[in-house]
Amino acid sequence: MHLKPERTPTEATVPNRLTPVAEMAFLALMGIVKAAHLLHDPSPHSDAIIHAWPGVFRWSVFFFSVDIQRPGVEQDAKFFMQDLIAATWFTFTRVDRIAAIMAETPGAIELMTELFFLEGSIPQMSIVNHPNAAATLDSMLHEAEDVWGTLDRVVATANGDAERIARVALSRLRTAVNGPGFETPIGGAALNLMCRLCRRRGHPLLYAFLHHNAIATVTKVAASAARSYMKTGNDGVIPALVGSFGFVANCLESTDGFTWVTIAMQSGLIQAFLEVSILLPTLPVECDRDMILAIFKVILPKYLIYRSVIQAVDGAMQKVESNPASKWVSQTPAKDVWHNFKRVAFERRALVANLTDTKHKAITSCDNSKCQKADFRSNFRKCSSCYTSLYCSKECQTIAWKEGGHKITCKLKVQERLGKNQSVSKNDIAFFHSATIRDISYNVPYKELAEKEYPDTPMTKLVACIDYDRPEPRYFLQPLAGFENKQPSLGSSNNAVARNEALIERVQTNEGRYSLFQSSIAYGETSRLVLSMVNGEFWKMEPQMLDGIWGETWKEDEEEGPELDITTARVIFNEYLRRSEDEGAQ
């Protein structure tokens, strides 16, 4: 009755604020907050609250204008009104259906965003001991039907400055971590809101948070929260713990993906995962446990095809070797996920070391399709423009340029290397090719697949494919005939597509002289297509003699380790598992 919309003054003035009608509306808002504990979802009072919402909203706008925005208002009165409006709305958002209606109300998202900006100025916790504005905005965004449009409304309230929103949210998070600690709701509320603000890939808000190094900040918070929970056992830490992992899980595959995976590794994600693994059985919500496990089960394994990620993971694992959690994990629900992740990482690290050691020992062949002389790579000359194609003589290089199509592919390779959109390093690209060729030659029975699926087709007329953009790679074959018409849209640049088309045409034109491999690489929001070409004799050669004859040059790092083959890696890894399980059981 006291909050009916028609009772709201038409002008936000001090005289109107001092009327009995306004005072009763103020007391009515106080009453709603005091009765918050009676409202649950579902609620028998939902219809009554929905009916009352238009009046609550209009009175909130009035009080915001006269008690917060008006110059000259005393700070204590301003703080109290900020908190009262946010606490009232937070009470209503306990019911999802009501929160959805609130989100769709014109001006509501905008008002709560303003209160969120102001909330940090309140010198003490609120009347209900909760960061109400952050939590309310989080709930409204969660229930909004038009997520992208609602996020745009948040940015518009900040005068289009998404960076400001990211700065404020991250500042609140750091304040909570460095001040009251994880036992207060501030950190959890900040993290939950950050997750909601970054829930749409490609939105300016997500990019703003990434620009302000949110992945590194939140990963460190996850590690700190896990340690705090282990030390204190305080359930008040759980919202910050779950929220930090939720943010990382949501944002890791943004843009190119591997950049943020690398940063997360360098910021302690492995340490955080090992320490939280012990706590997984105590987390009250099963989907939170599944979300944390999915980071290492579903997301990260896909990026262990990037040399840069492999090295970051290897460095992170060395740091946690002395952490007791590295032994305890074998006795937790994360055991299988962790062991599988470490197995893949260990094998890929061994492959990096092995390929570096054998690079100059490998046999390759002349890139002139009319020659294809085989010899050690060190005995070939490189094209001085693209630095990738190899020739046994100046004559062969001239023939390939004039007759073999290298004049076209060379230009495309150079443009690809210089392209502004190319964020993948040269070393990573080289490793894609090498890993694909090694996986095909050592690990997968492609000949058996061919006999079963294409019994009358020569191997050189088939394309051996590996899909690395999944937790476990998928191996399959496709016919070379018509292959150019079957390329999926994988987010590569136009130049890369043109280069791939030229490569496919070359293999098809020189029938039997080459074999074509395709690998699909995780690339954040899309995938990246990588084509590799080998000598047509590939399928007749011993695995240790194989090497690609097309691809980027591999520039070695000085700190590379010794050779370690895959078989040895597996033996060492199995011994690690046995030792870890024995120590964990003690």
Q: What is the pLDDT of residues 180-229, one digit of tens each?
A: 666 677 888 889 999 999 989 889 999 999 999 999 999 999 988 888 88
Q: What angle do CA 396, 399, 401 make, to 5 degrees?
A: 110
Q: Is residue 91 part of a domain?
A: yes
Q: Is residue 63 part of a domain?
A: yes
For 166, phi then psi, to 5°, come to: -65, -45
Q: Is residue 414 part of a domain?
A: yes
Number of domains in the chain: 2
- The per-residue pLDDT for 164 is 96
Q: Residue 29: give the domain boundaries.
A: 1-160
Give the separation between CA 447 and CA 464, rounded to whole angstroms: 10
Q: Is residue 92 part of a domain?
A: yes
Give the separation between CA 53 and CA 62, rounded to whole angstroms: 14
Q: Give per-residue burial for 364-383: e unless 16+ CB within 10 Å, then b.
A: bbbbbbebbebeebeebeeb
Where among 160, 195, 229 does a domain terminate?
Answer: 160
Q: Is residue 106 part of a domain?
A: yes
| Regions in the chain scoring below 50 on pLDDT | 416-422, 489-491, 545-573, 575-576
- The per-residue pLDDT for 142 is 95
Q: Is residue 36 part of a domain?
A: yes
Average pLDDT, the chain: 82
- The per-residue pLDDT for 496 is 67
- The per-residue pLDDT for 363 is 60
Give the separation between CA 162 and CA 206, rounded to whole angstroms: 9
- The per-residue pLDDT for 378 is 73
Q: Is residue 260 part of a domain?
A: no
- The per-residue pLDDT for 407 is 75
- The per-residue pLDDT for 582 is 56
Mapping DSSP to helix (H, G, I), strand (E, B) and coil, where does residue 476 land? strand
CA nearest to 272, candidates 253, 247, 303: 247
Where among 160, 189, 213 does a domain terminate?
Answer: 160
Burial class of residue 505, CB neighbours in 10 A (0-12, 13-18, 19+): middle
Where among 117, 143, 160 does a domain terminate?
Answer: 160
Mapping DSSP to helix (H, G, I), strand (E, B) and coil, where does residue 396 land? helix
Q: Is residue 558 part of a domain?
A: no
